[in-house]
Structure 1
Amino acid sequence: MLDTLYIENIAVIEKTAIEFEKGFNIMTGETGAGKSIVIDSINCVIGGRASKDLIRTGCQKGVVSGEFSQVPKECEEMLNEYGFSCDEELIITREILSSGRSTCRINGMPAPLSVLKAISPFLINIHGQHESYELMSDSRHLGYLDSMGDYQELLKQYKEEFDKYKEYKRILEENVTDEAQRMRETDILTYQVEELRNAQLRIGEFDELTAEKIKLSNSEKIRDALADSKMMLDGRDFKGACELADEASSQLSVVSGYMPEAEKLSSRLTDVYYELRSISEDIEALIDDADIDPYRLNEIEERLDLLYRLRRKYGESEEEMIAFLEKSEERLFQLENFENTRKEAQKNYDIALEKVTKTAEKLTEKRIAAGKIFKEEVEKELAFLNMKGVRIEVSVEKVPLNDKGWDKVEFLISSNPGEPPKPVSKIASGGELSRMMLAIKTVLSKNDITGTLIFDEVDTGISGSASQKVGMKLKQVSKNRQVICVTHQPQIAALADIHFLIKKSTDGERTYTEVTKLDDENRIKSLAALIGGAEVGGTALEHAKKLIEEGKNL
């Protein structure tokens, strides 16, 4: 459930925090007041598009944040899989920057947008005007039917089997080639495999050789520096650091009888002398190692040249080239053992096709059965919504096998008795689409674990008793989950448990939108304004009071 929505510097909203409650939450306001901004902000919280155009003029960034409680267990488990903790509450925050970038945080931790999109179906389901028109596209109908069915495990099984079927089909198609093509591919792969095998690739070799080449290329500079260092320690025509340290130690030892503390310094210099002698010997060993094999640099350059050429053809690293070799060896084996490979591929394909076909048949049976239940329940809801004459048919036709089965599902409707059912797109009006979508949402909500349902002006194209019925249905749905609704209809607004007024004002220079939770008195006034327009008279006020009282008794 969405407890709090925080909005800062989004469009005409400077800063507001909306505290939604359980049950039926209503938002009303004049056209252009900012109702759509609230919905856009909620959509942004659950991973929707976050354009820099949303940022309030003159601001560097905009912020939207949603605080959720009673998070579904499935959502918690998914968040845990992604590495996010979610105990009793979930806070999602998005910052939209003027540069066009946006950042996401889940309970304070940075999160990719993909995670928000993955968990959003468990948190909020937004139904807007545009979604009603999705009913006109039969490509959506299968999803609606499947979401209410009791065969989710079968759908999962089918998806796994179809993926295997696709893979075996791909392998079979790769092995069904003509002889000339097979010979050409064999020749190419034979050359590539031989070239890579002969190279005897070793992971890390390129970096090692590059480092050694740099060392060899600077060998003269290295030897000179080492020789100078040793000379400074050992001396040549002068006393070196080793001898000077030894003499200094002896001098301090002489005066130790007069100054006891000098003995400690003498001892420390003795240690320095031995350390310098050790360093001198180590430098000498380095000088011996720095002796250059005149042919080694040529060997390295030739090897690096080979690796450069192989990298251009087979991959940017030894790992990629070795992976290319392994894949090529596997394919070459298949081609050289074509008959056996083809027979094996055909066998695997046949088994996979048989499995996925049987599961597709079971899906068809389940969908036909679900379609009958869907028809009955949706028609019952439509009758309640003043569409008693409307009849629904769920058409299930067979199409080529795909990732959803082999069924094409389409909702057909008949608006009047005796008329044959036709596609929704051909006969439904805007108001009918809104009520049909609400009826479908009501039916689907019985199996939906989403905590919050949002309806954005689903009352478009309806009025009077029909809008009251829509309100009653939304009220009914809100008994088991949180419902947030944007409406212009007083019959719907009167049924709210919580009523928010969205109002726009200006100080002459800037425009501001405020969201106010209405008390009983202001709720009556707001409802009267919906009924009577700008003039809120006694009649409108009385009508508003009556609607609210009737709503309390539902």
Structure 2
Amino acid sequence: MLELLHIENIAIIDRADITFEPGFNALTGETGAGKSIVIDSLSAVLGQRTSRDLIRTGADKAYVSACFTGIPPEVGEDLGITWDEELLLQREIHADGKNVCRVGSRPVTVTQLRTLGSRLLNIHGQHDGQQLLDEEQHLLYLDSFGRTEPLLTAYREKYAKLTDIRRQMHALQMDEAEKARRMDTLRYQIQELQRAKLRPGEEEELTSRRNLLRNGEKFMSAVSEADFCLSGDDSTSGALALLRQAQSALEPIRRLDDSFEELYQRLEAVYSEVYDLAYTVQDKRDAFDFSPQELDEVEGRLDQLYRLKKKYGPDVESMLAYLDRSTKELDAIEDAGDTLLHLQQLEKKALSAAQSAAEELSKARHQAAERLEEQILTELRQLDMGRIRFAIDFQPQPLSESGMDAVRFLMSANVGEELRPIQKIASGGELARIMLAMKNVLSEQDRVGTMVFDEVDTGVSGRAAQKVAEKMARISRTKQVLCVTHLPQLAAMADTHFSVEKGVTDGRTFTHVRRLDRAQRRQELARLTGGAHITPTMLEGAEELLSAAEDFKRTLE
């Protein structure tokens, strides 16, 4: 159960510590006093979505912690979260949007906090009743009650396989004229690309060769000049001949002095290097075949590649990839008849499997619906709605993500009236009580030990309010109940009563949460009944409410 809620800098609450007790805890107070802020704080520490606007004006962060006791450690095992006797949840909300979450002293993510929080406490707001007006929610309620999630998961796996097969079939199915047009287009494109005989890296090679050919005369002139300088001609000596002459000049004296020998050897080395250079230049000159015809051929090939790139891709590699895809697509279309026949066989099997899974799921839902109808009617009788009829209507639908069932809740609020959709006939008070019945039935399916009701009694009054109070008392005998209410009947039924009060100190608004003793409860119940001007008669009425509530709770012991 929730034992202690600590709040700092949340809206108009500067600081508050609320110690809750087992059983039925009620929070009352004037409208705007801050009762909903307590619930917002509780939502925040349970990992629900919140806003930095929740931070009190002038503060740089807000802080909330909640201490739970009696929670089995296995509740957090799959999250890797452990604790001893007390489970402490903490959350800091910073003005810059940063969140710091902890369980005990261990940091956790908001997602982990939210997952753990959902196993500890359920919050039911005043607008939950509106969900009953949305028929799309009805199937979710039924599945939650019937615990059909494993069957639903198994069905969805088979349905996903069926839809994938149908998607493949749809991609292959086209009329004959469209099929012929597409095949002609693909054949033309494939032939055009195949005739081009594309080769990876070819464009770069051609570009380099074109640059060389475009500068052919300049190239020949430069290489020939270099060749002349190095090798000379019939009438003129080049560098090689002059180096050899220099060596011959030193030959007679090379052995007379070591320095001349060194010069001779250096000339020999230079001669060898220049000899290699000369023959390399000659090879370049001889290898270069400058041909205007070749330049035209290179230009033509590059132009062909340019035109193909405009249609099939930015480079040769992309065009080859397009050719591969087109070839595969043409093969697929040509083989579509066989492939489609194979897929039709697979579809038949997948449809049968999905249909069987859907029927099994539907059977479980019908069985759950019978139990849910019975339990809801039992709950409604306890809420002074004994004459109401409640039923769950099933309508078949084509297989979809949710199965083969369209589900909606029907009711008849008056004797002799036929069953109709809830959204067409239920009043606000009836919706509130039906939702309370629904929440109580569903809560019995889980292990959550604390239930929070935030003004779920909206639209309820008189005898119905008394029945709602009695229902809350019954729930509180197996689960801890926290209830924010404006109804004196509910507040009187509480085992522990808190008053949420707003005041102004030093020009700032503050909210305080005060636990009431019996005399203070009489005052608060009288205020809830008659307003600010409390009379002795109102106090007597409040005492009667408290006494009647005590008598009723004794019958539950």
After TM superposition, list the pairs within 5 Å mapping 1:110-129 onto structure 2: 110-129=107-126
Q: Which residue of 1 aligns with 2:88?
A: 91
**Cα deviation 1:314-337 (Å, max 9, x = unaligned):** 9xxxxxxxxxxxx99999997897
Q: Which residue of 2 aligns with 1:104?
A: 101
Counterpart of 1:426, as a letter, is K
Closer/same/farther in 2, CA of residues 336 and 497 from structure 1, 3 Å limit: farther
Counterpart of 1:112, as a letter, is T
Q: Which residue of 2 aligns with 1:395?
A: 393
Q: Does 1:467 align with 2:465?
A: yes
Q: Which residue of 1 aligns with 2:352?
A: 354
The CA deviation at 1:149 is: 1.4
Q: Which residue of 2 aligns with 1:52?
A: 52
Q: Is the 8 A contact 2:73 2:83 kept in 1?
A: no
Q: Which residue of 2 aligns with 1:153?
A: 150
The CA deviation at 1:4 is: 2.1
Of 169-178 and 355-364, the range deviating more from structure 2 = 169-178
Q: Which residue of 1 aligns with 2:133?
A: 136
**Structure 2: how far apart are the matches of 1:474 and 1:174?**
58
| Secondary structure of the structure 1 residue equivalent to 2:417 | coil
Q: Which residue of 2 aligns with 1:232?
A: none
The CA deviation at 1:175 is: 5.2
Q: Is the 8 A contact 2:183 2:330 kept in 1?
A: no
Of 493-502 and 375-384, the range deviating more from structure 2 = 375-384
The CA deviation at 1:44 is: 1.8
Q: Give unpaired runs (5+ residues) of structure 1.
A: 192-196, 200-312, 315-326
**Structure 2: how far apart are the matches of 1:518 and 1:383?**
32
Q: Which residue of 1 aligns with 2:366?
A: 368
**Structure 1: how far apart are the matches of 2:332 and 2:104?**
51
| Secondary structure of the structure 2 residue equivalent to 1:153 | helix
Of 409-418 and 170-179, the range deviating more from structure 2 = 170-179
Of 56-65 and 532-541, the range deviating more from structure 2 = 532-541
| Secondary structure of the structure 2 residue equivalent to 1:135 | helix
**Cα deviation 1:112-140 (Å, max 9, x = unaligned):** 33333434432222111111111111111
**Structure 2: how far apart are the matches of 1:176 and 1:53?**
55
**Structure 1 residue aligned with 2:440, among 416, 439, 442?**
442
**Structure 1: how far apart are the matches of 2:347 and 2:84?**
46
Closer/same/farther in 2, CA of residues 508 and 336 from structure 1, 3 Å limit: farther
Closer/same/farther in 2, CA of residues 85 and 174 from structure 1, 3 Å limit: farther
| Structure ID, larger Rg | 2
The CA deviation at 1:456 is: 0.9
**Structure 2 residue aligned with 1:502, among 497, 500, 503?**
500
The CA deviation at 1:169 is: 4.1
**Structure 2: how far apart are the matches of 1:526 and 1:481?**
25
Q: Is the 8 A contact 1:127 1:455 kept in 2?
A: yes
Q: Which residue of 1 aligns with 2:41?
A: 41
The CA deviation at 1:418 is: 1.6
**Cα deviation 1:369-397 (Å, max 9, x = unaligned):** 22222222222222221222221121111
Counterpart of 2:110, as a letter, is L
**Structure 1: how far apart are the matches of 2:185 and 2:135?**
46
**Structure 1: how far apart are the matches of 2:413 and 2:187?**
65
Q: Is the 8 A contact 1:79 1:86 kept in 2?
A: no
The CA deviation at 1:440 is: 1.4
Q: Is the 8 A contact 1:46 1:116 kept in 2?
A: yes
Counterpart of 1:121, as a letter, is S
Closer/same/farther in 2, CA of residues 330 and 54 from structure 1, 3 Å limit: farther
The CA deviation at 1:428 is: 1.1
The CA deviation at 1:23 is: 1.5
Closer/same/farther in 2, CA of residues 128 and 328 from structure 1, 3 Å limit: farther
Counterpart of 1:113, as a letter, is V
The CA deviation at 1:74 is: 6.6
Closer/same/farther in 2, CA of residues 407 and 183 from structure 1, 3 Å limit: farther
**Structure 2 residue aligned with 1:417, among 401, 415, 418?**
415
Q: Is the 8 A contact 2:186 2:326 kept in 1?
A: no
After TM superposition, list the pairs within 5 Å mapping 1:512-551 onto structure 2: 512-551=510-549
Counterpart of 2:20, as a letter, is F
Q: Which residue of 2 aligns with 1:69?
A: 69
**Cα deviation 1:259-290 (Å, max 9, x = unaligned):** xxxxxxxxxxxxxxxxxxxxxxxxxxxxxxxx
**Structure 2: how far apart are the matches of 1:122 and 1:37?**
22
Closer/same/farther in 2, CA of residues 419 and 509 from structure 1, 3 Å limit: same
Counterpart of 2:532, as a letter, is A
Closer/same/farther in 2, CA of residues 458 and 183 from structure 1, 3 Å limit: farther
| Secondary structure of the structure 1 residue equivalent to 2:115 | helix
**Structure 2: how far apart are the matches of 1:88 and 1:164?**
48
Closer/same/farther in 2, CA of residues 396 and 540 from structure 1, 3 Å limit: same
The CA deviation at 1:101 is: 3.8
Q: Is the 8 A contact 2:129 2:432 kept in 1?
A: yes
| Secondary structure of the structure 2 residue equivalent to 1:541 | helix
Q: Which residue of 2 aligns with 1:457?
A: 455
The CA deviation at 1:48 is: 2.3
**Structure 2: how far apart are the matches of 1:430 and 1:503?**
28
**Structure 2: how far apart are the matches of 1:56 and 1:449?**
34
Q: CA RMSD in A?
A: 3.6
TM-score of the superposed pair, with normalisation by structure 2: 0.68
**Structure 1: how far apart are the matches of 2:395 and 2:479?**
35
Counterpart of 2:508, as a letter, is R
Counterpart of 1:44, as a letter, is A
**Structure 1: how far apart are the matches of 2:155 and 2:49?**
32
**Structure 2 residue aligned with 1:162, among 138, 159, 168?**
159
Q: Does 1:485 align with 2:483?
A: yes
**Structure 2: how far apart are the matches of 1:425 and 1:465?**
23
Of 380-389 and 432-441, the range deviating more from structure 2 = 380-389
TM-score of the superposed pair, with normalisation by structure 1: 0.68
**Structure 2: how far apart are the matches of 1:140 and 1:58?**
41
| Secondary structure of the structure 2 residue equivalent to 1:431 | helix
Closer/same/farther in 2, CA of residues 488 and 352 from structure 1, 3 Å limit: same
Counterpart of 2:466, as a letter, is Q
Q: Is the 8 A contact 1:25 1:496 kept in 2?
A: yes
**Cα deviation 1:60-81 (Å, max 9, x = unaligned):** 111222223344667413312x
**Structure 2: how far apart are the matches of 1:525 and 1:63?**
32
Q: Give unpaired runs (5+ residues) of structure 2.
A: 194-198, 202-312, 315-324
Matched-pair identity in %: 42
Q: Is the 8 A contact 1:72 1:122 kept in 2?
A: no
**Structure 2: how far apart are the matches of 1:433 and 1:73?**
37
**Structure 1: how far apart are the matches of 2:347 and 2:330?**
21
